[in-house]
């Protein structure tokens, strides 16, 4: 059985960002890890985007407004990460600033994307990069089940085709050289909430010294590691 260690015993990254397709479990894992490691939790403010619900109903008409709002909102939130926090030595977020471009490549027209990308390039230079990205890799059945189970009305119109395109775009992004230390977690059999053995093993992997820049963590079934 994996021994539960204190955060002070591990060589943990200061800033961890968790990524994955809609429904992959980013917020759940970020919240659990922040509680376990006494880290500052930074969650994406998607509910503040006034265009998001319209985007899910009519993507072509509302994509540009939705993307620009997200881009500026995420940029402002990223600026707050540099503020001194006397109570936490770590930051755990349920998104990366880079994710915005993944969505934009799928939703914007060529002219819109050129304008968007010029703004993104200017802002990205002022954004702090995570020390580690945890990419939650899932399958379509689990994504759809998670989206249905959490019951957000605006997400019920998401098509399987869009999820598949998004999943492929995420994989292309994280399996190529990104310049950021990345841990890929295969989630279909990983129960974040109830499988404490796997969770402690994941924390050990996060704190492992001198890891490979791109590595995998996989669980075959509760309590059993691959």
- What are the residue numbers of the active site? 94
Closest CA to 24 of 202, 185, 220: 185
CB distance 108 to 63 below 8 Å? yes
Angstrom distances, CA of residue 42 to CA of 30, 34, 85, 89, 139: 8, 9, 13, 13, 26
Half-sphere exposure of 41 (CA within 13 A, CB side): 15
- What the block records as the tokens of 222 is 């509760």
CB distance 94 to 43 below 8 Å? yes
Half-sphere exposure of 195 (CA within 13 A, CB side): 20
149: phi then psi, degrees, rounded to nearest 5 = -70, -35
- Where are the extended beta strands (E) located within 78-194? 91-93, 132-137, 182-186
């Amino acid at each position: 059985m994996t021994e539960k260690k204190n955060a002070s015993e591990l060589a943990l990254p200061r800033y961890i960002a968790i990524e994955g397709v809609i429904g992959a479990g980013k917020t759940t894992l970020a919240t659990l890890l922040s509680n376990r490691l006494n880290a500052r939790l930074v969650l994406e403010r998607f509910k503040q985007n006034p265009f998001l619900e319209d985007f899910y109903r009519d993507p072509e008409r509302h994509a540009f407004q939705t993307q620009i709002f997200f881009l500026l909102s995420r940029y402002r939130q990223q600026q707050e990460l540099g503020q001194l926090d006397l109570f936490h030595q770590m930051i755990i977020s349920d998104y990366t600033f880079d994710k915005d471009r993944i969505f934009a490549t799928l939703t914007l027209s060529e002219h819109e994307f050129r304008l968007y990308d010029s703004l993104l390039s200017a802002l990205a230079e002022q954004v702090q990069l995570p020390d580690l990205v945890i990419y939650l890799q899932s399958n379509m059945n689990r994504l759809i089940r998670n989206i249905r189970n959490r019951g957000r009305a605006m997400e019920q119109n998401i098509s399987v085709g869009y999820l598949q395109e998004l999943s492929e775009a995420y994989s292309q992004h994280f399996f190529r050289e990104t310049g950021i230390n990345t841990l890929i977690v295969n989630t279909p059999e990983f129960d974040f909430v109830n499988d404490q053995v796997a969770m402690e093993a994941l924390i050990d992997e996060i704190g492992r010294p001198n890891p490979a820049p791109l590595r995998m963590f996989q669980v075959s079934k509760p309590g059993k590691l691959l």
